[in-house]
Amino acid sequence: MKGIIKLFMDGGPFIMSAIFICSIIALAITLERFFYYKKINLGTDKLLDRIAKAISMNHYEEVLAICDSKPSPVTNLVKAGIKHRKEDEARIQDAIKDAASLEIPKLEKFLTTLGSIASIAPLLGLLGTVMGNMETFGVIGAGASLGNMEQLAQGISKALLTTAFGLVVAIPSTVVYNHYTNKVNNMILKLEIQANNLIQMLIKQEKRG
């Protein structure tokens, strides 16, 4: 603990604290999104099979009960389609697409913040570097005598520590942001395919009467 406190003090408590706060936020977002994506993907294929079977038997109340018990982007599309199943094809399509458009922001939630942290953290480190260099050159300008060599070392240490700490936060944040962005894009594509399948399923079933 003393070593961590010393690092903060050597790097400059203001800049180091700002970068540390960024790291905590990035970690919180990473964990929250991980569990959210895991939750909404849990048993999706089996769930869709149950829904498709219930729809084929015109058990729409059962479908709604299944959706209420397993809330997810997919089940929300199903509920929208079921509620408008008696309407014409265009209205069913619009209802499901409107529901899909509401799910996309939920999938992308906090990713902009994570991307911002990935960009801000190295800039904060760079700011600390500039401040450290200013301190160093100030000492040099005053004359690097033995009495102020400690100040000179502190300025150099601040410049190196803040840059390193900023990169330590930025690199994993960038990796996670790119991974989650790609994951969300794939989920949106899959959601669009599932929406189209649901539309065709409902239309086909309603035509059967």
pLDDT digits (tens, 9 = 90+) for 50-100: 888 888 888 888 888 888 888 888 888 888 888 887 777 788 888 888 888
The stretches of the chain forming alpha helices (DSSP H) are 2-11, 13-41, 44-56, 60-69, 73-83, 89-108, 111-142, 149-208
DSSP state of 113: H
Q: Closest Cα to residue 40, out of 72, 69, 78, 75?
A: 72
How high does pLDDT run on average in the chain? 81
In angstroms, rounded to a whole number, what is the distance separating the alpha carbons of residues 117 and 193?
33
Do residues 67 and 79 lie in contact, with contact meaning Cβ atoms separated by under 8 Å? yes
Question: Amino acid identity, residue 197?
Answer: N
Q: Write the Ramachandran bin of 42: left for phi over 0, alpha for psi from -120 to 50, otherwise beta.
A: beta
Q: Residue written as tokens 């086909």?
A: 204
Residue 174 has what pLDDT? 96
Please give the model's pTM, rounded to 2 decimal places: 0.80
In angstroms, rounded to a whole number, what is the distance separating the alpha carbons of residues 205 and 209?
7
Do residues 194 and 81 lie in contact, with contact meaning Cβ atoms separated by under 8 Å? no
Per-residue tokens: 82: 């079921």
pLDDT bracket for residue 172 (50, 70, 90): very high
